[in-house]
């Protein structure tokens, strides 16, 4: 059977990579705004009914963590209401749904890495809307996988990595917080892991996802502080000669007030994903080196 895959959001960091990794797995229809408007749940319902996919991969999201504090209705519509429609329509069609969520569902106070069964307690509107999306999918049930990930970056859209490269060219001294800890995750890791999981279902990916359905933590391996991440970015920059930066100093989150509060330690344990689907995940510094060398 040829699997009809509907990819929503093919220009985002993860969506762009998925557009490539899903290509050979079936008949791929990749759409983005304005054909897909996740702010309009009825538009989403119609789209799924017209397309009749076997598998929906949702790479759309309202991801502006600070702006979400003042746009909570829009963030909720995109991250939760329309996501619940996707889950409902997938269930109705007998299709599978793959969705992504965030470490920001946690408050970061656990002290060790988070497991899937740890209680979420988001500190921000963004985290609360993503949690509502996850819970709607779980409540509706069916053949779904939700991959909770963290600190996603790519070099083709603004991300922490591109910002650090820019700051390193503009300033002699950088001050970066060392009290926020998580796992930097290359968008490509997520897209490749997603494709690998679908491919494991061979000619019945929907049945396979039904069997394996649930919530999984999925990030690049290892964790670090934003300060350590920034040092690695500057170290691995293939065009160091353009840098103006001479020193990188550690700072604390409360020195840089933002509208949204972020968890301090939201590293996640990916053991459940590894045990179920994969022998291992790539180390965050290795993927960072690959991502940075590829971009130049
Ligand atoms: N980025 C992170 O650090 C991070 C961390 C943890 C989890 N995640 C999760 O990982 C997933 C992928 O994130 P990402 O980093 O790839 O995000 P991204 O680069 O911001 O991509 C999100 C995509 O959604 C689109 N979108 C926004 N509003 C839309 C709407 N109303 N209708 C249709 N499309 C809309 C965006 O389009 P525009 O570009 O036109 O806005 C963009 O293409 C998301 O579920 C996110 O919550 C991300």
Give me the domain span that covers residue 199: 4-157+183-223+266-282
Quote the ligand 1 centre to 224 CA distance (angstroms).
Answer: 23
Query: Is 165 a member of any domain?
Result: no
Backbone angles phi, psi at 63, to 5 degrees: -110, 5
Cβ–ligand 1 contact at 54 (below 6 Å)? no
Question: Sorting pLDDT into bands at 50, 70 and 90, what band is 106?
Answer: very high
CATH number of domain containing 57: 3.40.50.720
Residue 19 falls within a domain, yes or no? yes
Is pLDDT of 287 > 70?
A: yes
Domain assignment of residue 237, yes or no: no
Give the integer Cα–Cα distance in Å for 266 and 226: 12
Note the pTM of the prediction, 2 decimals. 0.97
Q: Report the mean per-residue pLDDT for the chain.
A: 96
Confidence (pLDDT) at 254: 93
Q: Mean of the pLDDT values across residues 203-228?
A: 97
What's the structural domain count of the chain? 1
- d(C-alpha 200, C-alpha 196), whole Å: 6
Active site positions, annotated: 126
Shortest-distance atom of ligand 1 to CA 58: 45
98 lies in a domain?
yes
> Long-range contacts: 133-138, Cβ < 8 Å, 24+?
133/79, 133/80, 133/83, 133/84, 133/99, 133/101, 134/99, 134/101, 134/105, 134/215, 136/80, 136/83, 136/84, 136/87, 137/83, 137/84, 137/86, 137/87, 137/97, 137/99, 138/215
pLDDT (tens digit per residue) in 156-179: 999 999 999 999 999 999 999 999
Is there a domain that residue 170 lies in? no
* CA 9–ligand 1 middle distance (angstroms): 7
Residue 129 CB–ligand 1 contact under 6 Å: no
* Residue 61: count of CB within 10 angstroms of its CB: 25
Q: Is residue 13 part of a domain?
A: yes
Q: Which atom of ligand 1 is nearest to the CA of 104?
A: 6
Whether 54 is covered by a domain: the verdict is: yes
Tell me if 296 is assigned to some domain: no
Assess whether pLDDT exceeds 90 at residue 294: no
């Amino acid at each position: 059977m040829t699997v009809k895959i509907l990819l929503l959001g093919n220009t985002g960091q993860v969506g762009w990579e998925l557009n490539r990794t899903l290509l050979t797995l079936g008949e791929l229809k990749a759409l983005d705004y304005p054909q897909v408007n996740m702010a309009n749940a009825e538009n989403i319902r119609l789209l799924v009914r017209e397309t009749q996919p076997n598998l929906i991969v949702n790479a759309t999201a309202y991801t502006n963590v600070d702006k979400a504090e003042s746009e909570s209705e829009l963030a909720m519509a995109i991250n939760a209401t329309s996501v619940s429609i996707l889950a409902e329509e997938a269930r109705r069609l007998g299709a599978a749904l793959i969705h992504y969520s965030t470490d920001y569902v946690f408050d970061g106070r656990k002290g060790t890495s988070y497991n899937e069964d740890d209680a979420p307690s988001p500190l921000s509107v963004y985290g609360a809307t993503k949690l509502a999306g996850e819970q709607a999918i779980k409540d509706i049930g069916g053949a779904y996988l939700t991959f909770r990930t963290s600190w996603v970056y790519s070099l083709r859209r603004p991300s922490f990595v591109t910002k650090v490269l820019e700051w390193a060219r503009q300033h002699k001294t950088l001050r970066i917080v060392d009290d926020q800890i998580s796992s930097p995750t290359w968008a490509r890791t997520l897209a490749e892991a997603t494709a690998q999981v679908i491919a494991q279902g061979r000619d019945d990916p929907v049945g396979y996802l039904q069997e394996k359905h649930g919530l999984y933590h999925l990030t690049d391996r290892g964790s670090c502080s934003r300060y350590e991440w920034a040092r690695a970015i500057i170290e691995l920059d293939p065009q160091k000669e353009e840098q103006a930066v001479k020193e990188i100093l550690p700072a604390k989150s409360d020195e840089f007030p933002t509208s949204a509060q972020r968890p301090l330690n939201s590293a996640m344990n990916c053991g459940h994903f590894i045990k179920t689907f994969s022998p291992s995940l790539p180390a965050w510094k290795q993927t960072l080196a690959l991502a940075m060398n590829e971009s130049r």
